[in-house]
A and B are shown apart, each in its own frame.
Chain A
Amino acid sequence: MKYAAISDKGIIREQNEDFWNIILDMNGNPQAFIVADGMGGHKAGDVASKMAVESISKSISCYLEKKNTDSTDEQILREAINKANEVIFQYAMENLDGSNIGTTLTAGLLCNGKLTIAHIGDSSFYLIRNETIVKMTRDHSFVGELVDKGILDQEEARVHPLRNQITRALGYEKEVQVDFYSLDVMPDDIYLFCTDGLTVKLSSEELLSMLKEEKDLNIILKNMVELANERGGDDNITAIVVKI
């Protein structure tokens, strides 16, 4: 298995509010992948994403060490996410005068030949298999949901004034609703976890062709970030790519 990650603040923003992590087991094999895109203004923009990634990484690592085998992968992720939600919500209450902060989250847990995805907000998980790319996660965003309902098409959504408004966020409210997806890991699968800084600028077809044309994952990611920045670079960009 090969993997690589990149995070870039883009060319407009002053700070990177995205956060990510790859969790390895004792043998150095990746077990989980996380990307998070924080929100909350210039003082606290990176707080929620950092707290989310750290809290979830810690929960998952502890689980992997203890191997409580009676939990399903979904339960492990759900517990880790609920804990992170509580930690962030509590933090905002106590330290930020109750002003809301939150973060998107797209996390994958790799266990026993299965990949389980937990998803909140408008970051994405793509599956590349048999030369085709499928965006498996559904955006929890105002325009994303209107696209799902057939009210808007992709192009209308891309230029909508409310295009960056998300309808769910981790740590924003006392409780958070999480979507789960799962898939069996197959040979030659490619997985892409990324924040909307990438998907707003690059179409799935472009992502697919970039993944097909080059072998070195680090170079692929660098090229993707470069292209997103050429097209405005007005948001932070983060991506993790995994090749089975």
Chain B
Amino acid sequence: MTGRVLNNRYELVEKIGSGGMADVYKAKCRVLKRWVAVKILKDEFVNDEEFLERFEREAYAAASLSHPNIVSIYDVGHEGNIHYIVMEYIDGITLKDYIRQNGALPWQEAADITISVLSALHKAHRHGIIHRDIKPQNILMTSDEVPKVTDFGIARAASTSTITRKIDTVGSVHYSSPEQARGGYTDEKSDIYSIGVTLFEMLTGKVPFDADNPVTVALKHIEEEPVKPSTYVPDIPEAMDKIVLRAMKKSKTERYDSALQMIAELDHLKKGEINEMNGNEPDQFATKAIGSLEEEVLAGKNVRRKNKKKNKEKAENKSSKKGFLIAFVYIILIGVIVGGIWLAYDKIVRDLAGAILAPKKQPVEVISYIGMPIEDAIRDLEEKNLPYVEPVYEYHDTVPEGIVIDQKPPAGISIMPGKDAITKVELVVSKGAEQVKIPTDIKFADYVEVEIHLRDDLKLKPKVVAEYSDEVAEGRVIRTEPEMGSVVAAGSEVIVYRSLGPDLKDVIVPDLTGSTMDEAKHKLLSMNLSIGKIFPEDREGYKGYIIDQEPKAGTSVKELTAINLYFGDEQAPASGDGSGIGPESAVGTRVTRYIYLPSNKNFGDTVELVAYYTTGDTGEEIFLIRITLSKSEFPFAITVPVTPGVKTTLFVYMDGEFQYEQEIFIQR
């Protein structure tokens, strides 16, 4: 895949990751000249229409989320069978690797990361999007150590596919809530549980429930109480233990009500600590209106990064209250300076924008264009300055030409206006119904082949009607309606008349018993009946005469029906098996037979084995296998298809020479 360019835009440079569902590539966007990450769905999913639809829907939903702690989705698309999502490229590692490299994190840092992830979750939850697969593997740490959550909603799309059959021995089960393990209803609080587990792992370097198989892990999530994180790392404050355990409550009602509520407690804990350090009353910061908190968290993000480094130092040298105080003052100072610069910058940009540039761009909601004439749709897009690609025209059986039949993104999604915006509106427009010509050379052709040709190649709906014909043999095509050579719309019905052969009259089967064979044959042929199978039987007194017949005398049959005859003959075998079982009445089976090297002949080191088989009475040899084997590979097992009730004969050749035949017969 590396080196490939998707839709003439994304140049895949290097594979940077692989998951159960997709491979991730670092890619260069040729249009915007920047690095992006392209997530390409694995081959096994591309035939699952329902899955693809869900996958795209979730990706679009996630694309509507814009947040500093969420990996941005720029584009969703496909080129042929390659389905992909284009995302912000993060130069960093997963939180899982970050923990692996650093071991247990200082609790202050763990709290910071958790707050960032929670604020991302809060944003998503407010938009009605549940992540469902929060785990350190889905949280990326940028090189500036900013956590960013990825793969929103995709877990749900994946878990319902019937293709991922084998459960991973490690992975999501470690972080999934009791209700997810039970297959119950999941909501925002399931994400809260998973972030609780993630926080536990950051604090201690281990997951709370571990075992060598996923079922045991799931069971523990359902049944066992987690230990306090401070059991492993004594420095962890009691309040932190409480936060983790509350997020991880078995019952949803006992967990935090929202991501925001959990942020508030973590924030409280951190500030309480800071106040304690300063000798102030912790209560002063504790009571805060939750509504303003999210904005505060976001605004404080830049400060938080600096803060974190200080926290690390502090963890190393806890007693240095003085040092910390100085640091704290610095933080405030930096905050003020950064804020000041930002205000100034913002003002300059706004002034500039007012003077030179168009007004600041706002996302515009895409309306539904489906059912609209394409000219009207284009006019609307132009008016709103929304970017769009050249519409795609497709045949459609019912929608008239020029009407939009599909669109991406779906109605209700907001995208950025302007020609250079990433997400462009894609419209599929009806070309009307496809026109095809009924072939002229299908008279006398086998009706099954014609039916398949019309249906699969010409996209018509053939309907087979049988009728008698003296001219056309049975099973062959007589005519079509509309007639051959007509031009019709794809998808329309074509009646194919299949011949039943000549219209045969009913005749009464004559009594043949007691006749000689010649008399019987003559009688049958004169009545336009056929001679069927002849079964010789050794019965005293009947030599040379017909003993019995099938169907019996007096039966009404169509002309040309075959009449089987039982004929008195001395050399007849004990009893035949020719009961006329047709292969169509049996379900095919296969048997394994074992080929050995005849010991009475000299072969070289290798032997070319060829096998054929015949089935029933047709005598047609069907090729089975040609293989060169070394002597040690004998005895060699081969599998022969057989029909129960029908004799199959296997013919074995070695080095081009016939060796032996073997009969295979299976009772029905």
Chain A residues with CB under 8 Å of chain B are 2, 4-6, 14, 20-24, 26, 28, 39-43, 45, 54, 57-58, 61-62, 64-66, 100, 102, 142-143, 145-146, 149, 151-152, 156-157, 159-167, 169, 172, 216, 218, 221-222, 234-235
Contact = CB atoms under 8 A, between A and B. Distances in A.
A40 B594 contact: no
A56 to B, nearest CB: 10
Interface in B85-106: none
Nearest to A165: B167
Interface stretch (B196-204, B211-219, B335-343, B405-413): B211-219
19 contacts: A5-B590, A21-B591, A21-B639, A22-B592, A24-B593, A43-B44, A62-B635, A100-B166, A142-B214, A151-B182, A152-B182, A156-B182, A161-B156, A162-B183, A165-B165, A165-B166, A167-B166, A167-B215, A218-B586
Interface in B589-642: 589-594, 596, 635-637, 639
A28 B664 CA distance: 7
Given A43-B44, A151-B222, A21 B587 contact: no
A41 B181 CA distance: 25
Given A4-B644, A151-B222, A41 B587 contact: no
Nearest to B165: A39
B166 A221 contact: no
A42 B46 CA distance: 8
A2 B667 contact: yes
Contacts of A40: 44
B495 to A, nearest CB: 26
Nearest to A161: B159
B160 A161 contact: yes
Contact of A234 (B162, B222, B592, B644): B162
Interface of B: 42-47, 156, 159-160, 162-167, 181-183, 213-215, 218-219, 222, 586-587, 589-594, 596, 635-637, 639, 644, 664-668
Given A41-B44, A57-B592, A166 B182 contact: no
Contacts of B594: 26, 61-62, 64-65
Contacts of A151: 181-182, 219, 222
Given A5-B590, A21-B591, A58-B592, 4 more contacts: A22-B591, A62-B594, A65-B635, A146-B219
B183 A54 contact: no
B590 A166 contact: no
A166 B164 CA distance: 9
Contacts of A149: 215, 219
Q: Which of B45, B156, B215, B635 has the most CB of A within 10 A?
A: B215
B44 A167 contact: no
A142 B218 contact: yes
A167 B217 CA distance: 13
A152 B179 CA distance: 11
B592 A24 contact: yes
Contacts of A159: 183
Nearest to B184: A156
A37 B166 CA distance: 12
Contacts of B668: 2, 216, 218
A39 B163 contact: yes
B183 A143 contact: yes
Contact of A24 (B46, B163, B586, B591): B591
B183 A222 contact: no
A41 B42 contact: yes
A142 B215 contact: yes
Nearest to B42: A41
Given A4-B644, A42-B46, A43-B44, A166 B166 contact: yes
A41 B81 CA distance: 14
Q: Which of B166, B222, B639, B666 has the most CB of A within 10 A?
A: B166
A162 to B, nearest CB: 6
A146 B163 CA distance: 21
A160 B186 CA distance: 12
A31 to B, nearest CB: 9
Nearest to A235: B162
Given A57-B592, A146-B219, A166 B165 contact: yes
Contact of B167 (A24, A45, A152, A162): A162
Contacts of B639: 21, 54, 57
B183 A167 contact: no
Contact of B665 (A22, A28, A57): A28
Q: Which 9 A-B pairs have the closest CB atoms?
A: A41-B44, A160-B183, A39-B165, A165-B167, A61-B637, A58-B637, A145-B215, A218-B587, A61-B594
A145 B665 CA distance: 42
Contacts of B162: 164, 234-235
Nearest to B590: A21
Given A57-B637, A151-B222, A172 B166 contact: yes
Q: Which of B213, B218, B637, B665 has the most CB of A within 10 A?
A: B637
A66 B164 CA distance: 40
Given A41-B163, A169-B166, A221 B183 contact: no
B589 A62 contact: no
Contacts of B664: 24, 28
Contacts of B215: 142, 145-146, 149, 167
A167 B635 contact: no
Nearest to A43: B43
A45 B255 CA distance: 42
Nearest to B216: A145
A218 to B, nearest CB: 5
B348 to A, nearest CB: 52
